[in-house]
Homo-oligomer: A and B are copies of this chain.
Amino acid sequence: MNQHADQALVLVEENAPTTRCRILETAERFFREIGYQKTTVADIAKTLRMSPANVYRFFESKKAINEAVVERVTRDIEALIASIAARTGMTASARLAEIVRALHHDCLERCQDNPRIHEMVEAAMTESWNVCRHHVERISDVLVRVVTEGARTGEFVVEDPDMAAQCVHVAIVRYCHPVLVSQYPNAPAPPLETMIAFLQRALGARDPGRAGTP
């Protein structure tokens, strides 16, 4: 009997990551389909044929579920831009451009596919500001890395690479902030490539239009 109980425990423990993932996938689907506000933990539990108490074993609240959903979503784009930043055989200028494009396309895709994303993001920004802040900081870290490297090799001419990277980050908010992209898609803005060239210029990049190879 003891052995059976142990085996059952092992099974539960082994399935824990899977259960966690299933809860998050289901929650994300509900958030997309009926919206964050209208989704209840009971809905999620029912769909997964488990008790709400079991969901609460993994996440203490709906807020905690949303935080995990947001974190999962943001980790993907963070990994992508980090890999672009680490690419060899590309100038810092070209990598910066590629990162901005990736951030923009990720945001655009997510907002177009998901009209209720604003509600999730709003909930995260209101209830879980730290999750959002950390995501923003991780993007900034990647931008700082690329600008610093460009400054070191003389490709960029900036006094304070850290601050210059923050300026780039803030300047692209119109193209990468879910609230602006999802709520005001018709607000006027220059084409992204024009904006990228403008920012490369602010970094003192020479001939940014032709930057691509080191």
Contacts and interface: CB of A to CB of B under 8 A. Distances in A.
Interface in A156-185: 163-164, 166-167, 170-171, 173-174, 177, 179-180, 183-184
Contacts of A198: 164, 167, 171, 202
A125 interface: yes
Which range contains the number of A residues in contact with the other chain? Answer: 20 to 34
A199 interface: yes
B167 A170 contact: no
Contact of A171 (B129, B163, B171, B184): B171
20 contacts: A125-B183, A129-B186, A136-B187, A140-B188, A163-B190, A163-B194, A166-B189, A166-B190, A167-B190, A167-B195, A170-B189, A170-B190, A171-B198, A171-B199, A179-B180, A180-B180, A198-B202, A201-B201, A201-B202, A202-B202
